[in-house]
Structure 1
Amino acid sequence: MSTGSGADSAPAPTSTHESKPGGTFSSLKIRNYRLFATGAVISNTGTWMSRITQDWLVLSLTGSATAVGITTALQFLPMLLFGLYGGVIADRLPKRKLLLVSQAALGLCGLALAALTLSGVVQVWHVYLIAFLLGMVTVVDNPARQSFVSEMVGPAQLRNAVSLNSANFQSARLIGPAVAGVLITTVGSGWAFMFNGLSFGAPLIGLLLMRTSELHKAVVVPRAKGQLREGLRYVSGRPELIWPIVLVGFVGTFGFNFPIWLTAFADEIFHGGAGMYSFFNILMAAGSLAGALLAARRRSSRLRMLVAAGTVFGLLEIIASMSPYVWLFAILLLPIGMIGLTTNISANTSVQMAADPAMRGRVMSLYMMVFAGGTPVGAPIVGWISDTYGVRTAMAVGGTFSMFAALGVGFMLARVGGLRIKVDLRPGHPHVRFVPREQLATAA
């Protein structure tokens, strides 16, 4: 266990391999990031097991897609209400220590739901309450975890590490639903929740074993008045930040309601039960994993790619919503997962690389608040549309919103002062910024 003074007083590492991008898995050369990634894949597997089991448990208790939507909404409602304050906290405190507290709290929530389910007393309001508590912890955990990546790997490896984080998450998504499906049908939902709670021991061990002297020096912002407003002003004046955030807000609110759609397609449309629902999630994860690995090989982050991916993502959802055959619907989940993850990674990396380090916690909290915090708005709406007009209509509506949002953001990016994207990936200070069209040649 490290006994150093912490990430925020540590000098930047001097080893050359940590500053040179290259290769799909180049970030894994860094010891601290390997520990982080190893712990994450274990806890992410538990998280996916819990998500699948939670959605199926709520559907079993209530028989309502709206109830599934409410559960999802409650888990993300705190991000909508308090997300920006989480970013202020992440900028003020050492992120490694903050993550030790938040990851332990997430594990305790998982163990509480396991105890309720295994004892046979679980009711839907218990699930609602724990979903809300998970959301409260995530308010701080998300911006701290997102911005801590740059402390582990440095700016030159940031895109690769963000992509590998997504690949890590999607790899767990391949395993978690499959294991959850087996556990639900054999020993019951409680054991899936139990594994999730215990799985958070892995990232806690990884954080404790990190060498704080090898972390890149972080900026800790002293406590002061007006830091929340300062962050909002900072983002609002930069098109390279505001438009990716706007796009992921629409996509997150209306296009990423897969817990509602996949449960309803598996249960109501194709009559396949929990096993089919798990299979649908595995296919989504396989496509997402492919998208993450492809993104890890790219060395630039282009907003044109973000707009194109968002447009195609929405169009694919519309097509899938009309699929009359289970095999066709299943096949379409692969590119939906791949393009959806490409949209997320492109936006996430563009925003992180364009944000000043002293503002990164607040910027990423706004990003996550818009992306995940839109779910409390979108999930009940989509759930109601699904119950009232059918899941096919609900999924088509989500895809339509995503597609037109991407087209609208692309139109605005083309109009904003004739700006064009300039990407600089020189070691030490990579960034994404906008430059006037007439200056593009000299800026290159």
Structure 2
Amino acid sequence: MKLFNTIYELKSFLILWSSQTVSALGTAMTNYALVIWAYQQKGTASSITLLSVCSFLPSILFCFAAGTLADRWDKKRLMLVSDTVAAMGTATILLLYSTGTLQLWHLYIINFTLSFMNAFQNPAALVAQSLIVPEKHYARTSGLQAFANSLVTVLTPAIAVALLAFGGIQTVLIVDLSTFAVAFLALLLFIKIPPIRQSGEAKAPFLQECLSGLRFLREHRALFSLILFFSFVNLLASLSGNGIMPAMILSRSNQNQLALGAVSSAVGIGMLVGSILATAAPPAKRRTRVIFITCAVSFFLCDVFWGLGRSVPVWVFAAFAGNLPLPFIGVNITTIMRTKVPIEMQGRVFATRDTLQFTTIPLGLFLGGVLADNVFEPFMLSPSPLQHALSFLVGTGKGSGMAVIFLVIGVVGFAANLLCLRNPIFKELDT
């Protein structure tokens, strides 16, 4: 009976969550297929990198303004408009590809436009979930969201490759458009998002409101410190992680793409299992303790063992075990944000958080590549006492310099989280 009551209380969220997950899977498959197509056209990593930049940069640049408008405007209409623009982008790609006129610069423009709309969609969706979910279910629904993200990560390569083999990119794009239709109709017909009660005070000027999310965080020192710390965590994770992991695995496995595929799949499966556990777990009484312990464990098991490992089984273990704790971090941070930030400000504050936390990711990706190619790899190929000592830990040859980066990042990330555990400023977030 309790289960049925919970499902009834979350019926609107479950409809929104499931339909948006289907749509996210369609979008991810399109992105996967287009990355392959882009690489086939140019054969360069830069063509793929620029696609990522166009998909990432606008959501950072326009985040402050988008968060303010997400608080001001009707959440449902904003999400419907964003879904419509995304569908138009996919339809445009399908038309250009079908007529043989698709060029890379078309994808850059479309990705930039879709990323711009995502800057509005993301805070609106987060606030909408806060409005339709009872507070007692915040942790559970955050876990379900983490599960959906992990499921998309696991399923995307397999389904996209199957569709590409069956009917090419056109089939992938048609399936993507179908998933957009599912999400759009579910939101339009079945989801009612209650309006936020507005105070009788006059609205501040737009620019002032854009900065109000940052002001709110600066006035709440513990929350601001948590966000800044995870900006640092994202910098560390992007210095290694997806930035240089594929290159290290390939260079240390004699260009074995199956090895890279096994490690990448283990990452997704670890996050999938972790999200199931995070959803089923009872709400934590000391959320910050869970956040810092699981983050420390992730750095140690993933980065340290990726650095020390010299075989596929060790890398697969590190990928699975190191990514399993990640959903616990996201679930508890999101729950803290939703309980500590007034509902009428969540769009601006979530947008500010995204800007602060995600700006360090492209910086980390850039620095990781530069340090690997110009510092650590040459260092591990040049005999010296320190190189000799490190070679006992990570081995020698191509890829050993990147292994050192993983080892250093793992130790630094582990130690930083243990220090935060002892910092009293974060304890007020548990009350």
TM over 0.5: yes
| 2:404 corresponds to 1:421 | no
- Name the stretch that deviates more: 107-116 or 169-178: 107-116
Quote the residue 2:333 is aligned against. Answer: 347
- SS in structure 2 of the partner of residue 74 of structure 1: helix
Alignment of 1:403-418 (within 5 A): 404=412, 407-408=415-416, 411=419, 414-415=422-423, 418=424
Of 255, 260, 277 in structure 1, the residue corresponding to residue 237 of structure 2 is 255
- Name the stretch that deviates more: 45-54 or 282-291: 45-54
- Name the stretch that deviates more: 88-97 or 106-115: 106-115
Match for 2:355: what amino acid? Answer: M
Q: CA–CA distance in 1 between the matches of 2:27 and 2:46?
A: 22
Task: Tell me the matched-pair count.
Answer: 400
Contact map agreement 1:142 1:368 (CA 8 A) in 2: no
Quote the residue 1:204 is aligned against. Answer: 184
Quote the residue 2:277 is aligned against. Answer: 294
Q: CA–CA distance in 1 between the matches of 2:139 and 2:119?
A: 23
| 2:225 corresponds to 1:243 | yes
- Cα displacement (A) at 1:395: 7.4
Match for 1:404: what amino acid? Answer: V
Quote the residue 2:364 is aligned against. Answer: 378
Of 335, 343, 351 in structure 2, the residue corresponding to residue 357 of structure 1 is 343
- Relative contact order (C-alpha < 8 Å, sep 6+): which is higher? 1
| 2:65 corresponds to 1:106 | no
Quote the residue 1:232 is aligned against. Answer: 214
Contact map agreement 1:386 1:394 (CA 8 A) in 2: yes
- Name the stretch that deviates more: 373-382 or 164-173: 373-382
Residues 197-249 of structure 1: per-residue CA shift (max 9 Å, x gap): 4322122111112353xx45524577421112222111012133213312332
Contact map agreement 2:146 2:331 (CA 8 A) in 1: yes
Contact map agreement 1:231 1:363 (CA 8 A) in 2: yes
- SS in structure 2 of the partner of residue 224 of structure 1: coil
Quote the residue 1:367 is aligned against. Answer: 353
- Cα displacement (A) at 1:46: 1.2
Quote the residue 1:154 is aligned against. Answer: 134
- SS in structure 2 of the partner of residue 324 of structure 1: coil
- Cα displacement (A) at 1:381: 3.4
Quote the residue 2:298 is aligned against. Answer: 313
- Cα displacement (A) at 1:419: 4.1
Quote the residue 2:159 is aligned against. Answer: 179
Q: CA–CA distance in 1 between the matches of 2:289 and 2:225?
A: 12
Q: CA–CA distance in 2 between the matches of 1:299 and 1:313?
A: 20
Contact map agreement 2:147 2:276 (CA 8 A) in 1: yes
Contact map agreement 2:296 2:418 (CA 8 A) in 1: no
Q: CA–CA distance in 2 between the matches of 1:414 and 1:68?
A: 42
Q: TM-score, normalised by structure 1?
A: 0.78
- SS in structure 2 of the partner of residue 298 of structure 1: coil
Q: CA–CA distance in 2 between the matches of 1:162 and 1:219?
A: 24
- Cα displacement (A) at 1:343: 2.5
- SS in structure 2 of the partner of residue 308 of structure 1: helix
- Cα displacement (A) at 1:28: 6.7
Structure 1: 5+ residue runs without aligned partners?
Answer: 1-16, 423-431, 435-444
Identical positions, percent: 18
Q: CA–CA distance in 1 between the matches of 2:74 and 2:13?
A: 17
Of 61, 64, 67 in structure 2, the residue corresponding to residue 87 of structure 1 is 67
- Name the stretch that deviates more: 194-203 or 358-367: 194-203
Quote the residue 2:150 is aligned against. Answer: 170
Q: TM-score, normalised by structure 2?
A: 0.80
- Cα displacement (A) at 1:352: 2.2
Evaluate the alpha carbon distance shift between residue 46 and residue 86 of structure 1 in structure 2; reply closer, same or farther with a 3 A threshold: same
- Cα displacement (A) at 1:258: 5.5
Structure 2: 5+ residue runs without aligned partners?
Answer: 378-397
Evaluate the alpha carbon distance shift between residue 326 and residue 176 of structure 1 in structure 2; reply closer, same or farther with a 3 A threshold: same
- Name the stretch that deviates more: 147-156 or 220-229: 220-229
Evaluate the alpha carbon distance shift between residue 310 and residue 399 of structure 1 in structure 2; reply closer, same or farther with a 3 A threshold: farther
Residues 130-183 of structure 1: per-residue CA shift (max 9 Å, x gap): 322221111111111112111111222112111111112222222222111223
Match for 1:335: what amino acid? Answer: A
- SS in structure 1 of the partner of residue 310 of structure 2: coil
Contact map agreement 1:103 1:200 (CA 8 A) in 2: yes
Alignment of 1:63-78 (within 5 A): 63-78=43-58
Contact map agreement 1:111 1:196 (CA 8 A) in 2: no
- SS in structure 1 of the partner of residue 427 of structure 2: strand
Match for 1:83: what amino acid? Answer: C
Match for 2:412: what amino acid? Answer: F
- Cα displacement (A) at 1:109: 2.2
Match for 2:347: what amino acid? Answer: G
- Cα displacement (A) at 1:265: 5.7
Contact map agreement 1:311 1:403 (CA 8 A) in 2: no
- Cα displacement (A) at 1:305: 1.7
Residues 275-322 of structure 1: per-residue CA shift (max 9 Å, x gap): 766654433222111111222223126112212222222231242245
Structure 1 vs Structure 2 CA RMSD: 3.3
Q: Which structure has the greater CA radius of gyration? A: 2
Contact map agreement 2:294 2:328 (CA 8 A) in 1: yes
Q: CA–CA distance in 2 between the matches of 1:166 and 1:151?
A: 19
Match for 1:298: what amino acid? Answer: P
- Name the stretch that deviates more: 228-237 or 328-337: 328-337
Q: CA–CA distance in 2 between the matches of 1:28 and 1:325?
A: 48
Match for 1:169: what amino acid? Answer: N
Quote the residue 1:134 is aligned against. Answer: 114
Contact map agreement 2:305 2:314 (CA 8 A) in 1: no
- SS in structure 2 of the partner of residue 375 of structure 1: helix
Quote the residue 2:76 is aligned against. Answer: 96
- Cα displacement (A) at 1:195: 2.5
| 2:315 corresponds to 1:333 | no
Contact map agreement 1:107 1:198 (CA 8 A) in 2: no
- Cα displacement (A) at 1:400: 4.6
Q: CA–CA distance in 2 between the matches of 1:37 and 1:187?
A: 29
Evaluate the alpha carbon distance shift between residue 381 and residue 272 of structure 1 in structure 2; reply closer, same or farther with a 3 A threshold: same
